[in-house]
Structure 1
Amino acid sequence: MPIDAVEANFDGLVGPTHNYAGLSWGNVASRSNVRAVANPREAALQGLQKMKRLADRGYVQGVLPPHERPHIPTLRALGFSGSDSDVLRAAARDSPVILAAVASASTMWTANAATVSPSADTRDRRVHFTPANLSAKFHRSIEHLVTGRALKSIFADEACFAHHPALPPVSQFGDEGAANHTRLCAAYGEPGVELFVYGQIAMDESAPAPRRFPARQTLEASQAIARLHGLSDARAVFAQQNPDAIDAGVFHNDVIAVGNGNVLFYHEKAFLDEDRVLADVRSRLRGAELEAVRVSESDVPLGDAVSSYLFNSQLLNLPGGKGMLLAVPGECREIPSVSRYLDSLLDAGGPIRAVEVFDVKQSMRNGGGPACLRLRVALTNEELAAMHPGVLLTDELYERLTTWVQGHYRSEMSQEDLADPMLLDESRHALDELTGILGLGSIYDFQRN
């Protein structure tokens, strides 16, 4: 008998220090907007509006909190000392690049928060979480401890949920979380196929690898997570990302492919060995045939796919089993080749039956689209009841969070503002209030110390 289950999307709230520092080498959008003036309030409200639209359509929508930024404990660990204000002033004077890194609001992109394996796939029949170590980028490598605390607070019932620490923070086990992980299945409560996409084999120098930009996910990391989560060979497929795509700015697989249910929507340059990947998925998928929606280079050039973030869209089931909805960023309708393709996709009558545009420009300018902003967690009805409900978006919570953002966030943020001690105080006060609103307890370092 089929097990009733849903896919919940947990979006990251944009943090009070949202700014454009251009920290992510290999992320074209992030680098192209470096040092522009950001609007944290608008960014957070755009994210909340996206969550509300999906919740209003009946999707299970959760919220993940931003992190404390600037992160004073990291600055102290790097030798800056004195009062918190002294630490900020010294970092701004001696190493503004380090200050920018520890002030990044990159935790908004919760597709990088963790890798999640549903209970239908795991050996012990629990949902497994492994926070990503994000070791390729300093500004993101400091996230996993607080991410782990937040996930443990939300998914606390050990009978239903299992939590693992991040992998060792070294290049050989570089892990970028769900941005390089897609689950395909006949139904969310049924055993599926977890597609792990890696950029390189770290311990084989002769293996193919990108030449211009770094490969952030390794095969070794993906295999380790599959072992930790108790996935059998029948539940996992490992596929290498096309090195040429990485060198074109496709820093994560979710910039060039997205899957949901039995549908894989991808660009022809997504995988190094496309035929083998599809064959491996098909041989493991049970209860449904894989529907591969392949976008050719002639229809959407790779550069346009990267600029529009066509594949960094959310692919969601429409009610009543009537196909799927593709939730795209507004840029997809601004680039002619992509807009034409979307029209032809709807005319084709395939599994993707609807396209809806979302305005997430503040996030897009920093290199993240709708899919970057959410972590997907498939839950049975029992597991949904066992998780902490305070983070699930309701009309009341949406209004409280909107009021919270409007009361605490600045409308402008430049690089110079990051050294302002008042910004640190404002952010801490806001986050302390937020954990009360969401009922998460003391997850931040400043609360625990």
Structure 2
Amino acid sequence: MNQSFTSVREVNFDGLVGPTHNYSGLAHGNVASMTHEGLVANPREAALQGLAKMKSLLDAGYTQGVLPPQQRPDLGALRALGFRGSDAELLNQAANEAPQLLRAVCSASSMWTANAATVTPSIDTPDGRVHFTPANLQSSFHRFLEPATTGRVLAAIFADTGHFAHHPTLPATPAFSDEGAANHTRLGASHGESGVHLFVYGRQAFDGDGVAPSRYPARQTLEASQAIARQHGLGEAQVVFAQQHPEAIDAGVFHNDVIAVGNGPVLLYHELAFRDEQATLDALRRKMSTPLIPVRVPLEAVGLEDAVASYLFNSQLLSNADGSMTLVVPGECQEREAVWRCIQDHLLAGHNPISEVVVKDVQQSMRNGGGPACLRLRVVMNDAEQAALSGRVLLDDGLYGELSQWVRRHYRDRLATADLADPQLAVEALTALDELTRILAIGSVYPFQLA
């Protein structure tokens, strides 16, 4: 994998796995999360696996960024819910009276930064700035706790108002349920040319036809996607809104990035990704200035169960300088015969730019339902915008070494759900995060630092 930098590039900002990484099975509709509930987690291994993926992409010539985790446990949330006393007393009371709330306020789900926000590059916006809208994540309590800190982190890193614009989260109501970039794909000739934005939703809150999944919830609404497009100044000619296939959601495809991934003119997708596959492709073809390259995986080649278990479509599709693309897949893709055969015979041997598949071990994340694509927020920037970044958030060998040592100093190598009530864990986590903000030079972004 080699990529020579041009004046416009895509930077993947990966989320660092937090010190409280555990398997609580909080995400209803996320089959992997529910299946692995109760397992003993290894936060240190999880964080190092994430860093290793970042480092390998950096070494291959890609620009790689880092985003910090959330403050967990969120003791402020427990106090807001009526728990009283010292930090230790809060944790003990929650463990005894509402263990499900304790698990929620200790979730390390912010590692999946594809859900952090929706981002529109400056080349597509009327004011020529990069636009950000943090996702409200209102569909689950443990993720609803994230947007305030996410907004502060993004505002601290992308602070130059001449280059970056920040919007408020959408109203945290079911009608405007927003899960961020996991349901948004930008397609076009290249990163440096104007693109078309594919927004995928699971249900329509107002005046819908009633077609929705029956087993698991649809987390993204059409109304939320439309609102973000308006916030970012995207016109009708720049957007396509498509409904996710209800059957896929009921199979555990809780976000579009679990069933489709796009990059440049390529859209790699499963036959059951969209409710109306042909209408979606036709709309993209009408609006794109370059020919769409659809790479369709039929149901007969990869069933929904294999797609969800392997996270084939939750892979990173990256552009190379020679026009080819590299697909970064989780190790689980090798464990499913049908998936690995599809990669070799259908993707690599097909008439498309995908020329290389790279396998990465992110098992700790995968057990909670997040693959390589979940772990990154894509931000397309030109040289001036990249130079305007605040802090020390672009990975290099030095930062990688410091972050690796930071993880080894502060993270446990074993964490069971019963350990979440340990007040020492909270002390360890806050100590680690305070040091991290100094390493990344992003200032005070956490509630405990602002108190």
Q: Is the pair's TM-score, using the shorter chain for normalization, greater than 0.5?
A: yes
Q: Distance in 2 between matches of 1:446 and 1:88?
A: 16
Provide the residue aligned with 1:373 in structure 2: 375
2:129 is equivalent to residue 126 of structure 1: yes
Amino acid aligned to 2:35: S
Alignment of 1:268-307 (within 5 A): 268-286=271-289, 288-307=290-309
- Structure 2 residue matching 1:370: 3-state secondary structure: coil
Q: Distance in 2 between matches of 1:281 and 1:399?
A: 43
Amino acid aligned to 1:370: P
Q: Distance in 2 between matches of 1:348 and 1:191?
A: 27
Q: Distance in 2 between matches of 1:262 and 1:330?
A: 26
Residue identity over aligned pairs, in percent, reads 62
| RMSD, aligned CA | 0.9
Provide the residue aligned with 2:3 in structure 1: none
Length, aligned pairs only: 445
Alignment of 1:134-145 (within 5 A): 134-145=137-148
Greater alpha carbon shift after TM alignment, 205-214 vs 53-62: 205-214
Instruction: Say which of 249, 252, 255 aligns to 2:255.
Output: 252
Q: Distance in 2 between matches of 1:347 and 1:161?
A: 41
Provide the residue aligned with 1:324 in structure 2: 325
Provide the residue aligned with 2:350 in structure 1: 348
Provide the residue aligned with 1:438 in structure 2: 440
Provide the residue aligned with 1:21 in structure 2: 24
Give yes or no for contact 2:105–2:142 (8 Å, CA) kept in 1.
yes
- Structure 1 residue matching 2:66: 3-state secondary structure: strand
Amino acid aligned to 2:434: D
2:407 is equivalent to residue 402 of structure 1: no
2:42 is equivalent to residue 59 of structure 1: no
Q: Could you say if the C-alpha distance between residues 350 and 206 of structure 1 is closer, same or farther in structure 2, counting changes exceeding 3 Å? A: closer
Provide the residue aligned with 2:40 in structure 1: 37
Provide the residue aligned with 2:181 in structure 1: 178
2:86 is equivalent to residue 83 of structure 1: yes
Provide the residue aligned with 1:265 in structure 2: 268
Alignment of 1:195-210 (within 5 A): 195-204=198-207, 206-210=209-213
Give the CA deviation at 1:320. Answer: 2.4
Provide the residue aligned with 1:220 in structure 2: 223
- Structure 2 residue matching 1:297: 3-state secondary structure: coil
Give the CA deviation at 1:205. Answer: 5.2
Q: Distance in 1 between matches of 2:284 and 2:385?
A: 27
Q: Distance in 2 between matches of 1:178 and 1:153?
A: 20
CA offsets 1:428-447 (integer angstroms, 9 cap, x no match): 00000000000010000001
Greater alpha carbon shift after TM alignment, 177-186 vs 203-212: 203-212
Q: Distance in 1 between matches of 2:192 and 2:321?
A: 17
Give the CA deviation at 1:58. Answer: 0.9
CA offsets 1:324-371 (integer angstroms, 9 cap, x no match): 000000000100000101111212242111000000000000000000
Greater alpha carbon shift after TM alignment, 198-207 vs 74-83: 198-207
Amino acid aligned to 2:82: G
Q: Distance in 1 between matches of 2:235 and 2:206?
A: 23
Q: Distance in 1 between matches of 2:350 and 2:190?
A: 24
CA offsets 1:92-131 (integer angstroms, 9 cap, x no match): 1110000000000000000000000011111111100000
Give the CA deviation at 1:4. Answer: 2.8
CA offsets 1:252-311 (integer angstroms, 9 cap, x no match): 00000000000000001000111111111111111x211000000111111111110000
Give the CA deviation at 1:38. Answer: 0.2
Q: Distance in 1 between matches of 2:194 and 2:145?
A: 33
Q: Could you say if the C-alpha distance between residues 254 and 230 of structure 1 is closer, same or farther in structure 2, counting changes exceeding 3 Å? A: same
Give yes or no for contact 2:124–2:195 (8 Å, CA) kept in 1.
yes
Give the CA deviation at 1:83. Answer: 1.1
Give yes or no for contact 2:391–2:442 (8 Å, CA) kept in 1.
no
Instruction: Say which of 188, 193, 198 aligns to 2:191.
Output: 188
Give yes or no for contact 2:136–2:144 (8 Å, CA) kept in 1.
yes
Amino acid aligned to 1:248: A
2:167 is equivalent to residue 160 of structure 1: no
Q: Distance in 2 between matches of 1:347 and 1:118?
A: 32
- Structure 1 residue matching 2:84: 3-state secondary structure: coil
Q: Distance in 1 between matches of 2:420 and 2:349?
A: 48
Give the CA deviation at 1:174. Answer: 0.3
2:49 is equivalent to residue 46 of structure 1: yes
Greater alpha carbon shift after TM alignment, 345-354 vs 243-252: 345-354
Amino acid aligned to 1:201: Q
Q: Could you list the runs of 5+ residues in structure 1 that have no partner in the other structure?
A: none
Normalising by structure 1, we get a TM-score of 0.98
